[in-house]
Amino acid sequence: MQPLPFERIRVLDFGWVWAGAVLGHVLADMGAEVIKVESRRRLDPARQGRPIIGDTPDPEQNPLYHNVNRGKMCVTVDISHAEGRRVVEQLASISDIVVENMSPHALAAAGLDYQNLRRVNPQVIMVSCPLAGQYGPRNELRGYGNAAGALVGLDSIGADPDGDEFCGFNHVQGDPSSSQYGVIAALAAFHHRLRTGEGQYIDLSMWEAVGTMMGVATMDYVMNGRIAAPQGNRHAFMAPHGIYPCQGDDMWVSIAVSTQEEWEAFRSALDSPSWAWEERFSDGYQRALHRRELDHHVAQWTSGMDAYEVMETLQRAGVAAMPCLNQEGRYFNPHLQARAAYVDVEHPVLGTEPLYGIPYKLSGTPGRIRRHAPIMGEHNDYVFGELLGLSAEDSRYLTEQKVLY
């Protein structure tokens, strides 16, 4: 079996819910030994929610947790306890990278912020990715990734321009986008440490990370003074551009026509219907002005066809079109299956379950999901006994005192 690129890296992972957890699992997928620190006193929200089997809440059954914590180890430590803090300091002393996405004051209150951890490990690299960063007038803002979408204005352009109610962008973009920045920053800091022996602190703001997705709207305001309005599926200059109904129960297809050449190819793919030659659809400007009427004609055409039939017809003509796949459609898609977009992993509670795979395929050192997401405290014996050298008697005492809990 091929070696993994990060096999010599150890990560101490305080990440929870989604953002911090993804940062850790990406490193784990590529070989890092990632030790997730949890506590039964306050469960990771990703461990909570409706169980897959039965009706009794079970912290070992949440699919979100299983996806974003695969490949990790788990220890249970109460960091509010002085002995717990000492145990974590020992772990930090033998770790390369520390990951956390708590509010700025949280680890500092426990004496486990970067300034304290670097005293026990001057070479440690720490990544903090809260909502608003470590400093600034709003640094203590608390919220999830959808709050970041609202703060940067992503929600303001995602609503239906013809609707009476405001509806934002429903998907949580902040968590996975900020975590990927965190991975890049952590590896850059690790490369710096290899050359200089110096650790670093990485202050990552989810708010700012999601803000990078708003480049066009930001530049339009700075250069032209225009404030981006709700646009739904519309595009500033592409028309047709949107989601159109197809045959079947709740089946849709996405179509985007960018240039005049693509419009002519689109028109030919539809067998040149008479409406497509009307003056109001003659160029991009006119089509944008009359997009509502244009969308009506396109929807009439697509509604009589299967979504894949629309895709194949337009793709052959050189026009961007793809079915809007639901979970079932994505899981059974032949292309995604061929690329192992979903990987079956055996979990001790749920049995075989599909997790999302690794989208980047390295030819020499491909990553892999090496183990299921951990059970609470599953690796206490290995981490506290083998890595830290605690005796069985000490571990038993700390467990009885609910320090390792």
- Please report the pLDDT score of residue 79 as a whole number: 95
Whether the CB-CB separation of 140 and 114 falls below 8 Å is answered with no
Where do we find the tokens 């009589």? 304
Interstrand relation of 252-256 and 320-323 (parallel, antiparallel or unpaired): antiparallel
Q: What is the pLDDT of residue 23?
A: 96
- pTM for the full predicted model: 0.92
CA gap 363, 217 in Å, rounded: 37
CA-to-CA dists, residue 85 to 43, 81, 230, 296, 375, angstroms: 18, 6, 48, 63, 22
* 10-212+337-400: CATH number: 3.40.50.10540
Match 């973009």 to its residue by tokens. Answer: 173
Residues 78, 84, 87, 91, CA torsion sign: positive
Q: Give the 3-state secondary structure of residue 35.
A: strand
Number of other CB atoms surrounding residue 151 within 10 Å: 20
Write the pLDDT tens digit of every residue in 51-95. Answer: 999 999 999 999 999 999 999 999 999 999 999 999 999 999 999
Q: What is the mean pLDDT of residues 376-397?
A: 96
What mean pLDDT comes out for the span 263-268? 98
Three-class secondary structure of residue 399 per DSSP:
helix
Residue 396 tokens read as: 């038993």
Domain boundaries, the chain: 10-212+337-400, 252-323
CATH class belonging to 252-323: alpha beta
pLDDT interval class at 172 (50, 70, 90)? confident
Nearest residue to 373 via CA among 89, 59, 134: 59
HEC secondary structure over 162-208: CCCCCCCCCCCCHHHHHHHHHHHHHHHHHHHHHHHCCCCEEECCHHH
E-assigned strand segments in 309-367: 320-323, 342-347, 351-356
Question: What is residue 169's predicted lDDT score, i.e. its pLDDT?
Answer: 65
Residue, of 393 and 216, whose pLDDT is higher: 393
Confidence band for 165, pLDDT divided at 50, 70 and 90: low
Confidence tier at 163 by pLDDT (50, 70, 90) = confident
Residue 170 has pLDDT above 70, yes or no: no
Distance of CA 329 to CAs 310, 314, 357, Å? Answer: 16, 20, 16
The mean pLDDT of 148-175, rounded to a whole number, is 77
pLDDT in tens, 97-156: 999 999 999 999 999 999 999 999 999 999 999 999 999 999 998 888 888 888 888 888
The arithmetic mean of pLDDT across residues 222-229, rounded, is 92
Checking if the pLDDT of 2 tops 90, the result is: no
Report the percent of the chain where pLDDT is more than 90: 84
Residue pLDDT, tens place only, 277-327: 999 999 999 999 999 999 999 999 999 999 999 999 999 999 999 999 999
Tell me the Cα Rg of the chain. Answer: 25
